[in-house]
Amino acid sequence: MVDIPCRLPRLAVGATIASLMVTAFAHAAADGPGRVGFGRRLVEEVCGECHRVSQPPTAKPPPMQEDLAAPDLVERMRDPGITEMALRSYLQTSHPVMPNIRLSREETDDVVAYLMSLKGGLP
């Protein structure tokens, strides 16, 4: 009698890995470029001193927001005119009342991904 090894476990593992990879790539393609978590940290660090940048709203606005009337970015994301393209354009343009912040392409992708994610969490 010839002992033939069973290849079923190896095939099942391979199929599972392939399935997970396809799911991950499909999810990444649907979400577009950028990493929401990195974007949130960057927005909180760079923009959070003047703007409300995350939910839920804090009890007190950032210190400079009261003095400068800096827009609430969470609220601004309610505007249907705020699109990915509009955000990218805004981030590449200097503004007189804001510091001149230069972001790399990857940082811009992350910031845009985070801000666009706020649209999904709004009522």
pLDDT band of 48, cuts 50, 70, 90: confident
pLDDT value at position 5? 55
- Does a structural domain hold residue 18? no
- Does a structural domain hold residue 5? no
Cα 114 to Cα 45: distance, rounded to the nearest angstrom: 13
The per-residue pLDDT of the chain, averaged, comes to: 75
pLDDT > 50? residue 122: yes
Residue 74: which CATH number? Answer: 1.10.760
pLDDT band of 94, cuts 50, 70, 90: confident
Domain extent at residue 55: 34-120
pLDDT > 50? residue 65: yes
pLDDT value at position 71? 86
- Does a structural domain hold residue 13? no
- Does a structural domain hold residue 21? no
Count: domains in the chain: 1
CB 112, CB 84: distance < 8 Å:
yes
- Tell me if the pTM is above 0.75: no
